[in-house]
Amino acid sequence: MLVLWSSLVGLTLYLELVYHFSGFGWSGFQFFYVLALAVAWAGVETLLVGVLRGRVKKICFQVFLWMPVVWTGAQLVYLRIFKQPMLWEAIFRGGGDALSNYWREALDGVVGALPFLAILILPVPVLLLVLKKLEWKLPDFAMLHVMRTAVVITAGIAGAVVFMEAGRSLQAEYYEDYTEFYDPMTVAGTMGVLSTFQRDTFGHLQSMVGGMFAGARPESHSGSGTGTSAASRREEGSTGENAILTGEGTISDGDGLSGDIPGEDSVSGGDSLSREEGSQTGEDADSTGEPEKALPYPQQFSLDYDLLHSLADNEEQAWLADYIQGLAPVESNAYTGIFSGYNLIYLTAEGFSSYAIREDLTPTLYRLANTGFVFDNYYVPLWQTSTSDGEYINCTGLIPDGQFSMRKSGDNNMAYTLPRFFAQEGVESLAYHDNTLSYYDRHVTHPNLGYLFKGSSLGKLSGEEWEAKIFPMEHPDAWPASDLEMMQGTIPEYIGRERFHVYYMTVSGHMNYNFKGNAMSGKNREAVSGLDMSENARAYIACNMELDKALEYLLEELEKAGQLEKTVICLSADHYPYGMDQGQYEELAGKSLSEGKDMYRNTLILWNAGMEAEPVHVEKVCGSMDIIPTLLNLFGFDYDSRMYAGRDIFSEEEGLVIFNDRSFVTDACINPKGKPTIWLKDENGVDLVPDEEKEEYLAAWKQEVKDRYQFSAFILREDYYSDVQQAVIPSEQ
């Protein structure tokens, strides 16, 4: 018994250490918990081998030796490719897509991980050889051996329970990461493969059977009891209102928003934006000459809260009703409605980064990024399902809940997306992607968002049923496909319309970044041949040149059709190019990216031709979850700011960006996971938050982060927009 059990414990610990070192380095490993699980897990395996007989016993023993090696190796390769652990949901929901679309990346991941894979495999043949030399035989357990093994299993489980209970009592982050707000990446990095497997397996089984496993769902948070933002909860002692107009042509924000307001002709090509108190918001005055709405006014629907509460049939829905009722709405501002009546072309750019922008090689990206609105502190977090989750937050303003949130939303009432608001003005919304129609089930999810969606090829769908949903491309099977060809094949469908909203999910910037397997990098290879960079960096810039050509063509066609002045271009990444490791990404950036959340800094393009002469610099911290409410405000839609995790960037709300591990950035600090808080300073070098207020400030924002996470999760899980729609007073919607 002892030889078998100790061998299995040793193998588990060995695999965990190799995985942790290869994926995360030496820091932050919770060895005690890993040891407790290894003791219990090896005890269960030992018990099964001991009580089985004959050939089944031998097969079981071999499985217990090799399966952990295979699983750990697969996890290591997946981590290297996607920067996330592989969960059951990824296997069941995305396995087919991954095998058909990511086989090149998987092959490169395996090749890159070969040294560590060899190290992972090494102990099993060595152990088998030693046991054979010793003429050791698999044991047959009597009742005494069974009882002893049961004691070992119990001891291991008890150790794990004690560790978790200590974390709960001490309010340790590892307890929250594992239970209350499950963060697979942090759990994998601190507790290892076995912990992630155990937590994911029980959580997945719980979700399938509808039962309740400890920690599988977030617990309710009462917060301050008001649902207001942390910024409003710390109103006393603040340095002033955020993002309020303080004078002709400027914005001032004690927490970091400043810049010029566009001149009277710079936004709309002749339409004036008044900045006097009480001015109208881009809407026409009524017959009396009075503005229809004065600034400021709350951006919210009138809700029947009694009805909303009566519709709640579980704790999650009751929490949402309380949260929404207590949440202070964002107010309108000087930018409300400045693009009312305009067209919108909105792009989620695959793997896009600020470091793809070069005046010489990507001149259109350079033009769009440096005129219009220029966001100096914009972040794009990396979520568990990278591209799909990046699309989800870009299209919904909600934080993804675990993996495949977009797919989970496919059957929900997505009442508050951009197409729903454009539809109220009689505008049809179109969406395009230069990849297969079925990938990530976009043929289901995007129509559910309100788009008429088309892809460049069918994927797994039948041509007889879906052929009409394919747009023409010269090389639809290229990998990655050409964003320029996507524009050429789709612009004719809408350019002649009086008004339109179009969404694009690009693909030319997809990894891997080399000149052999990346068709777009190869196509533009000659243009980057003179750069003094590695192949990886040159190939990344080269494939993004195709996005630049697509945007150049788009602007040309808009201008030809007389639509350019009345069209807004918005572009954000789905994620940074995680196909590069940090060293490669820093080479591309030309600087270190190790401070705070520098890896996730990015560029938000929000551009109109009328703004080129007078760009507006925005220093306020903002992120991808803020795009939807910001656009709704700029286009003058009547919307409810409480329906999103993000906030209108131009509102008085203090800036907040939330990351996958619930670390965050505000206008006053950077709060990374497991590291000291970085406090930002004013122009005099003084911390924006006084020392005596820092503890309260952090506590308030940590609660705010939890609340917005929970709000987003429950909206998705409970299909809660359906309840909200029932509670909207019709005359106010």
Position of tokens 């152990």?
Answer: 127
What is the DSSP annotation of 44-73? HHHHHHHH--HHHHHHHHHHHHHHHHHHHH
Helix (H) or strand (E) holding 602: strand 601-602
In angstroms, the CA 474 to CA 469 distance is 16
**Terminal-residue alpha carbon distance, the chain:** 70
The 3-state secondary structure of 621-682, one letter per residue: CEEHHHHHHHHHHHCCCCCCHHHCCCCCCCCCCCCEEECCCCCEEECCEEECCCCCCEECEC
Of 392, 713, 402, whose CA–CA distance to 572 is shortest? 392
Question: 125-138 pLDDT, tens per residue?
Answer: 999 999 989 888 99
Residue 651 token pair: 């509102």
Residue 675 token pair: 């590291």
pLDDT for the residue numbered 236 = 36
Angle at 264 between CA 258 and CA 269, to 5 degrees: 115
pLDDT for the residue numbered 239 = 33
Contacts by residues 595-598 (CB-CB < 8 Å, ≥ 24 positions apart): 595/678, 596/665, 596/670, 596/672, 596/678, 597/379, 597/657, 597/659, 597/663, 597/665, 597/670, 597/672
> What pTM, to 2 d.p., does this model score?
0.84
364 in Cβ contact with 347 (< 8 Å): no
Phi-psi map region of 285: left, alpha, beta (phi>0 left; psi -120 to 50 alpha): beta
Give the amino acid at 214: A
Helix (H) or strand (E) holding 721: helix 721-727
Alpha-carbon Rg for the chain, nearest whole angstrom, is 27
Of 67, 65, 60, whose CA–CA distance to 123 is shortest? 65
Provide the residue count of the chain.
733
In angstroms, the CA 213 to CA 180 distance is 11
pLDDT for the residue numbered 179 = 85
Residue 127 token pair: 């152990």
pLDDT for the residue numbered 221 = 39
In angstroms, the CA 399 to CA 658 distance is 8
Residue 221 token pair: 């948070």
Position of tokens 């592989």?
Answer: 86
The CB density around residue 725, as the number of other CB atoms within 10 Å, is 13
In angstroms, the CA 215 to CA 390 distance is 25
pLDDT for the residue numbered 525 = 98
Outline where DSSP puts E strands in 188-292.
244-247, 250-252, 259-260
pLDDT for the residue numbered 81 = 82
Q: Which residues of the chain have pLDDT under 70?
A: 93-104, 203-294, 731-733
In angstroms, the CA 212 to CA 447 distance is 33
Question: 132-168 pLDDT, tens per residue?
Answer: 898 889 989 999 999 999 999 999 999 999 999 999 8
Pairing between strand 567-573 and 605-608?
A: antiparallel
The CB density around residue 434, as the number of other CB atoms within 10 Å, is 30
Helix (H) or strand (E) holding 76: helix 54-82
